A = this chain, B = another copy of it.
Amino acid sequence: MTIPQNPLLNDRDVEFLLYEVLDAPRLCELPYFADHTRETFDLYLQSCRRFAREVLFPTYRPVDASPPRFEGGAVAVHPALKQVFRPMIELGVLTAARPADVGGQQLPLVVAMLAGAYLMAANLSACGYLGLTTAAAHLIQTFGDETLKSTFMTRLYAGEWTGTMALTEPQAGSSLADVQARAERTKAGHYLVRGSKIFISGGDHDLAENIVHLVLARIDGAPPGIKGVSLFAVPKRRPEGGRLVPNDVEVAGVIHKIGWRGLPSLAMSFGERGDCHGYLVGNPHQGIAYMFQMMNEARIMVGVNAAATASAAYHEALGYALARPQGRPLGSKDPRAPQVPIVEHADVRRMLLRQKAIVEGSLALVSTTARYADLAAHAADPVERERAQRLLDLLTPITKTFPAEKGFESNALALQVHGGYGYSSEYLPEAWLRDQKLNSIHEGTTGIQGLDLLGRKVVAGGGAALMALGGEVEQTIGRARRAGVEPAWCERLGASMSLLGELTMHLAEAGLRGDVERMLRHSADYLELASILVVAWQWLAMAAAAREGLARGASPAGFYEGKLCAAQYWFSTELPRAQALAALCRSGEDSYARMRPEWF
C-alpha cells in the first residue's frame, strides 16, 4: 500500500478560488496592485508551494517530536527550524503584501494568504515566527514614529529580528482591562517596563539576533481599565552605543503546549532588575486600539492556519482512503472477492466529503475575507473602501472561528478515516488534531468571537455591515441563478439570510432595552448560525463558478462535479440547521442563564 505524497492544499482549488470564484486579477486594476498580473501571483504561489512541499513539510514531524529546549535561561529551537528560517524569509513571506516603500511586493493579501496557507499546512510552527514578525512590523509601520521604524520595523521586515505580541498576563487572561504591567517614563524619553506576561509565542529562541516584544503596559498614573493601557516596543536586547545590550527581559518558564510544538510559548518577566527599556508606540493610553490592528490580522491568520491544518489532514485522509483496501461493498457477500479501497464505503466518503466541505469552505471564506481586506485598504472609491471594511470587520470573527471549530471536527474525521492507525503517532493526523485545538483559543476564544460578532459587529453602524453582507449574498445568488445552479439552494440561502436579519433585529432590540444579557446569551449559537450561512454563501459562489466551468467545457470536469457534490452536501446537511439555531437564539432559552454555580 503506497500512500501518495500529501499535496497539503489542492492547487486546482487555489487556482479555482483566485481565478474562477474571486476574480483576483481584477484587483490589479487598483493602483496599489498595478505592477501585478495573474503571472506574478502564480510565481509567488508556485515558489511558496514548492518550498512548502519540498523543504518545509519534511521538517514537520521531527519538529513536532522535539519541542524547544529551555536551558540556561535561553530557548533553543529544533535545528531543522534554523535551516528553513532564512530561506522562508527569502521567499518574501514577511513583506509579500506590504508596500514597496518598506521593501514589500504589494501583493494582494488574498494571494499572500493562500500562498501562506501552503506553508502553514507544511509546518505551522515555522510560519508562526514570521507571522508574528510581519504583524509586529506592520504595527510599528502604522503607529510608530520614525525612530521606531528605523530601529525596529526595518529589521523586522528584513527578518533580522523577530516580533511577538505580549498582551496576556497570568492574573488577567483574556481580560485586557486587568493588565498590570507598569511603565515609568524616564527623563531620557524611554520607559522602564516591569511586569509578567504569559503565553508569549516565540518569546525567546535562537533563530535571530534579537526579538521585539510589543507589550501592553500602564504608564504610571494612567486611568484604570482598557483606557489606561499603552503599547511599547520592548526588545530583548536594546541598541546602545552601537551594539545590542541585554534589556532585562527574561524567560520565566516554558508552557508545554500540546501542538505547535516548534514555536515556544513562554512566561516572560520584564524589568525584574529595573532595567527594561520600552519605547512608546504612538500615543499614551491607546495601546488596546493599536493592538487591535495586530489582533485583527492575527485573527484572520488563525482562520488561514485552521483551514490549512484541516486541509493537510484532509488530503492525508483522502490519500489513505484511496490506497487502503478493506472490506467489500454492501451486499457483496463473496468473501473471495478482493477487498476494495475504503473510499468505496459510503460512510468513509461521507467523512471525506464533510472534510472537503469544511476545508474548501474555509479556504473560500478566508480568501473572501482577505479580498475585502485588500479592498478596504486599496479600493479607489472611499465608499467602496468603507463598505469593504465593514464586511471585513463583520467576517473577522467568523473567519477566525469557523475554520478553527469545524476544522477541529474535520481533523478528528481525518484521524477517524485512518481507523486504529490514526490513533497512533506513526500517522500524522493526530498531530494536526493537536495543532488545530489552539485555534479556538488564541487571539480571542470562540466565546469572545461570539460576543464580538453579536455585541459589536452586526449592530455597529445600525446594522450596516449585515446589510452589506446581504448585498453580497444577493449578488452571488444572482450569479448562481444565471449559471444554472439549483434554484432551491439560491432560495434557501436567501431565506436564511432574511432569517438572520430578523433574528438580529430581535436581539438588538433586547440590547436597546438595556437587556444585554438577554441579547448576548446565545451569542455562541448566533455565531454558529452566521457561520453556516456565510459558508453556504461561499459554497453557492463555488457552485456558480463550477457550473460556469462545466458550461464552458473547462477541465477536469470531475473537479467541478466534486465542487457541486460538496455544495449539495452543505445545502442539504448544514444549512437546514439554521432554522433550529435561529429558533433557539430567538426563544430566549435560559437554561444556562438560570443555572447557578452550586447546582452543577
Task: Mark A residues whose CB is within 8 Å of B.
Answer: 168, 171-175, 177-178, 198-199, 224-226, 255-259, 265, 318, 322, 324-328, 330-331, 333-336, 339, 341, 343-353, 356, 408, 412, 415-416, 419-420, 422-426, 430, 433, 437-438, 440-442, 445-447, 450-451, 516-517, 520-521, 523-524, 558-559, 561-562, 565-566, 568-569, 572-573, 576-577, 579-580, 583-584, 587, 589, 591-600
Contact = CB atoms under 8 A, between A and B. Distances in A.
Contact of A441 (B256, B333, B423): B423
Contact of A596 (B524, B558, B593): B558
Given A326-B172, A561-B599, A576-B584, A593 B423 contact: no
A380 to B, nearest CB: 40
A549 B124 CA distance: 53
Contact of A599 (B256, B419, B562): B562
A599 B350 contact: no
Contact of A446 (B416, B524, B594, B597): B416
11 contacts: A173-B419, A177-B327, A199-B420, A225-B336, A255-B423, A258-B425, A349-B595, A352-B600, A416-B445, A572-B584, A576-B583
Contacts of A318: 600
Nearest to A519: B330
B565 A255 contact: no
Given A178-B339, A343-B597, A561-B596, 12 more contacts: A256-B425, A258-B424, A322-B597, A330-B517, A344-B597, A348-B447, A349-B595, A350-B592, A562-B599, A562-B600, A565-B592, A577-B577
A524 B441 contact: no
Given A331-B517, A353-B591, A572-B587, A442 B425 contact: no
A257 B424 contact: yes
A595 B420 contact: no
A349 B600 CA distance: 9
Contacts of A580: 576-577, 579-580
Nearest to A347: B447
The A interface is mostly helix, strand or loop, or mixed, namely: helix
A346 B175 contact: no
A441 B419 contact: yes
Contact of A440 (B341, B416, B561): B416
Nearest to A593: B346
Nearest to A350: B592
A351 B450 CA distance: 13
B335 A420 contact: no
A337 to B, nearest CB: 10
Contacts of A325: 171
B516 A331 contact: yes
Q: How many copies of the shown chain assemble into the complex?
A: 2
A450 B346 CA distance: 12
A589 B562 contact: no
B426 A256 contact: yes
A423 B599 contact: no
Contacts of A559: 599
Q: Which 9 A-B pairs have the closest CB atoms?
A: A225-B335, A562-B599, A347-B447, A569-B591, A175-B327, A572-B589, A224-B335, A568-B591, A349-B592
A258 B565 contact: no
A566 B591 contact: yes
B408 A412 contact: yes
Nearest to A317: B600
A573 B173 CA distance: 29
A419 B174 contact: yes
A581 to B, nearest CB: 9
B255 A424 contact: yes
Contacts of A596: 558, 561-562
Contacts of A347: 447, 450-451, 523-524
Contacts of A349: 592-593, 595
A437 to B, nearest CB: 6
Nearest to A455: B330
Given A256-B425, A425-B258, A580-B580, A175 B339 contact: yes
Given A350-B592, A415-B437, A565-B594, A600 B174 contact: no
B591 A565 contact: yes
Contacts of A334: 225
A294 to B, nearest CB: 18
Q: Which residue of A225, A437, A599 has the most chain B CB atoms within 10 A of its CB atom?
A: A599
B445 A423 contact: no
A259 to B, nearest CB: 7
Contacts of A333: 225
Given A346-B593, A591-B568, A419 B437 contact: no
A349 B348 CA distance: 35
B423 A257 contact: yes
A419 B438 contact: no
B562 A595 contact: yes
Contacts of A597: 322, 341, 343-344
- Residue from A224, A335, A451, A584 having most chain B Cβ neighbours under 10 A: A335
Contacts of A168: 420
A349 B573 CA distance: 28
A173 B425 CA distance: 18
A584 B574 CA distance: 10
B445 A327 contact: no
A255 B422 CA distance: 11
Contact of A326 (B174, B341, B412, B420): B174
